Chains A and B, each alone.
Chain A
Amino acid sequence: MNVGLFIPCYVNQFYPQAARATLELLRKMGVNVRYPTKQICCGQPMANSGFEHLAQDCNNTFIENFAAFDYIVGPSASCILHLKDHLHSDTQEAIATEIRGKVYELVEFLTDVLKIESLDAAFPHKVGLHHSCHGLRGLRLAQMSELNAPDFSKPQQLLAMVKGLEQVPLDRCDECCGFGGVFCVSEEAVSVKMGKDRVADHTRNGAEYITSSDLSCLMHLEGILHRKNSAVKVIHISEILNATL
């Protein structure tokens, strides 16, 4: 199985440790994974701002970089959802369609494709799980509280395999953090208020770390935690799943 590692642009620039953890984790699972170095952004910032038509270069570059792989895996639910829903091409639509069917967010790749049942990981801390909305409702990584349907949670399933990790309960288990891409600056006041309330839910319930399968949400929450000089840290789920004592 040849897996192409997709690292979103902001993860590449600001959170390289999460990208490395993703790479190492996949290798630990015996996956043949390669990082095409000419990759760029998925195009979501333009598309969610109403400028989908400006994302054509991003789409074509993505196709060039990743068409040859069996699977494409990335540590960001939001970017993956964007690719699944909106990757199109003026010239190679058949390939774009094929790619849309083989992009996976890291958590769903581990649970649904690799179907892993155990992990050699340890993280003896109290952790709050933040569901990114695009992961939760878009990729269906867990059951959302709105629906009347059986409960499940893929990230929780993985976190339960980590030794010493204690997951803290939250008062509002799947509320949006308010990042929302360009929303975080165009609606700054609402975005920050939402972020503050999310952070408060985690800290009130005793979390030492807030984790998620989306670094964009974590970047926003981290900015708020830092400003408050909080001791609570954010950590991408790949770093926890790859952590050893």
Chain B
Amino acid sequence: MSQPKTKDHAALAEAFIQDEERVDWHDGALWYIRAKRDIASKSIPEWEELREAASQIKSNVISNLHGYLLQFEANLKKNGITVHWADTPEEHNEIVYAILKAKEIDQMVKSKSMLTEECGLNEYLEARGIGVINSDLGEYIQQIDNEPPSHIVLPCIHKRKEEIGELFHEHLGTEKGLSDPTQLTRVARKHLRNVFMTRRAALTGVNFAVAETGEYVVCTNEGNADMGAHLSEVQIASMGLEKIIPQKKHLGIFLRLLARSATGQPITIYSSHYKKPREGQEMHLILVNAGRTRQLGRKDFQNSLKCIKCGACMNTCPVYRKSGGLSYHNTISGPIGAILAPNLDMKKHADLPFASTLCGSCSNVCPVKINIHDQLYKWRQEIVKEGHASSTKALGMKAMAWTLSSPEKLDKAGRAGRWFMHKVPFVVNNKLNPWYKQRDMPEGPKESFSEWYLKNEK
């Protein structure tokens, strides 16, 4: 499903950074959440043990995925839930469409599903005359602005309240200049309430699917998943294959980790368990592959399937905080997105593993201990091997490797470099040198350490 290449991360980030005040505010908002996460995680003495336990449970799932999926499927059926399997995003969308069409439903409310964003479900259904309303407030705001979410937990974190006020004025008829969050939320709630009351179908994502019992759990802070599901005739859940956990008792570990990592809350306001349809209701669950088994087959990257989508790696990532989620041009942005995306389309996402300083904060904040920055390093090797590095970069690297390959060449290059800096600084200090654009070059000393050492110590 290779799509035309848009601007790369560096260019999109540069555009975002033009508005420095916005960047500072974006950075500050996410850092505030990271700090809340620190306090919440440090309030539990057994935090690191929880992370280790969660990581091991997910390792077990990854190693035995086939068995757990079959167990889950059997239990879902026992509970009266119809099970569907989708290998591709298209298959997933076709299944949803077929369910709705059979019931002659032309409106659906949706909540908490990055997977359906990944599949492009809204556009697919809208093209077939079916309206979809995102009920999560942040996602709703993104939807009326015709923009994808920029963060998996905080979908419109890059927007200021004044901008949201402007959007509401345009689309929901609020008075111009209204930017008070409480008042805006009230307006959105009124609109959404009407949506909840009139839609016959509701789709949700899945945070945790329990193989042992055939139930699934959806975590929200707004209760919007429940509002949709409880009033619907047809309830659909879409989940990636990796969302399985073996037993119900494991939920305690993941629920404690998820909210603390995501927002610094002890637990999400609603952790809703869904197990069987109520009378007169239909329940469908779609198990979606969409590249996950391919990632499972990549030994160096299969750990990425442990992800519980808490967003902590985004909040902690200084590159994400300064460049904004949309600069990652992928549904899942930030560090975790940068290791998931090349699996989906290596050419299109070849830039993303390079959008990191490899500082390692992501790996250490991750509640399930995904070695994110190691995987970014490994993707870089893979992407170059597969020929997705630009030819200029490849040439530059070859030249660099040649220069650095012997002490004589390196010494000559160093001496030449320092000579240039002293005699003709404009050769290095010009706009074609991206280092020099906003930074000065180091002042080259007259003598390198080796020159000094040979003179004085030998």
Contact = CB atoms under 8 A, between A and B. Distances in A.
B318 interface: yes
Overall SS of chain B's interface? helix
Nearest to B16: A189
B227 to A, nearest CB: 35
Contacts of B385: 50, 53
A178 B318 contact: yes
A209 interface: no
Most buried by A among B316, B360, B447: B360
B449 A187 contact: no
Contacts of B31: 172
Given A20-B449, A190-B322, A192-B438, A50 B410 contact: no
Contacts of B452: 16, 20
Nearest to B373: A137
A192 B360 contact: no
A226 interface: yes
Interface residues of B, number: 74
B406 to A, nearest CB: 7
B197 interface: no
B441 A55 contact: no
A37 B450 contact: yes
A190 B10 contact: yes
B427 interface: no
A86 B239 CA distance: 38
Interface in B16-45: 17, 20, 23, 27, 31, 38, 41-42, 44-45
Given A41-B410, A227-B440, A12 B401 contact: no
Interface residues on A, range: 35 or more
Contacts of B417: 13
A220 B442 CA distance: 9
B82 interface: no
B112 to A, nearest CB: 26
The list of the 3 closest CB pairs from A to B, nearest first, reads A180-B357, A223-B439, A50-B380
Given A49-B380, A51-B389, A187-B10, 20 more contacts: A9-B404, A9-B414, A15-B445, A16-B448, A20-B452, A40-B405, A40-B410, A49-B384, A50-B389, A53-B381, A54-B401, A57-B404, A61-B406, A134-B358, A176-B357, A176-B361, A180-B358, A181-B357, A188-B434, A193-B322
Interface of B: 9-10, 13-14, 17, 20, 23, 27, 31, 38, 41-42, 44-45, 47-48, 316, 318-319, 322-323, 353-361, 363-365, 377, 380-385, 389, 393-394, 397-398, 400-401, 404-407, 410, 414, 417-418, 434-435, 437-442, 444-445, 447-450, 452-454, 457-458
22 contacts: A7-B450, A16-B447, A16-B452, A35-B449, A37-B407, A39-B407, A40-B410, A46-B397, A50-B381, A50-B389, A133-B359, A144-B361, A172-B31, A176-B359, A178-B318, A188-B14, A189-B17, A190-B13, A190-B355, A193-B17, A195-B439, A220-B439
